[in-house]
Amino acid sequence: AMRAAIITALVRRALDTAPALAVTAKQASSGKTALAHIVSRILTGCEAAVIPLDQEAAELGRRLLGVLMAGDPVVCLDNAVDPVDSAALCAALTSGSYQDRIIRSSTMARVSTAVTMIITGNGLRLVGDLTTRALGCALDTGLDRPQERVYQRDIAAF
């Protein structure tokens, strides 16, 4: 799944649409968001744009519009609340463009969806149409307290 995310990020602008990568783990600090940042660093040298993925549908649509307008090539929809079911996210993943109302305005904006989307969450479960619009990846550190692990090298600097 990691290879698929990297390859997708590298060729994303040439594709009409692409599935999201859905990264789950049993516990916090397993490296889900770090994985999104690694994909982005390989592509751009910078961390991924991160927005929270909660269950407020209207707010997610506006957040999604904002992050797509910013033009970041890798977007991490972080700390998803289970279950994940979003019409806005489905629309963005299956269309070459996404349209929504600009916050505090009656103006609609249309933006390209040529980004790599990575959804992260503990015990992540996609439902509805999202089940066919994402590639799943489960991380298992094999540790009781993954936040205490020590790495031999700094992956971001590598």
Q: What is the per-residue pLDDT across 84-98, written as a single tens digit (0 to 9) for each?
A: 999 999 999 999 999
- Residue 142 vs residues 18, 24, 27, 64: alpha-carbon distances, Å: 31, 14, 11, 34
Q: What is the pTM of this model?
A: 0.90
Domain containing residue 44: CATH number: 3.40.50.300
- Whether residue 156 lies inside any domain: the answer is no
- Whether residue 155 lies inside any domain: the answer is no
- The single-letter code of the amino acid at 147 is Q
- Whether residue 27 lies inside any domain: the answer is yes
Structural domain of 50: 2-140
| Domains: count for the chain | 1
Task: Tell me how far apart the alpha carbons of residues 59 and 49 are, in angstroms, rounded to a whole number.
Answer: 17
- Whether residue 59 lies inside any domain: the answer is yes
Q: Give me the helices (H) in 12-119, please.
A: 32-44, 57-70, 87-94
Q: What is the per-residue pLDDT across 20-41, written as a single tens digit (0 to 9) for each?
A: 999 999 989 888 999 999 999 9
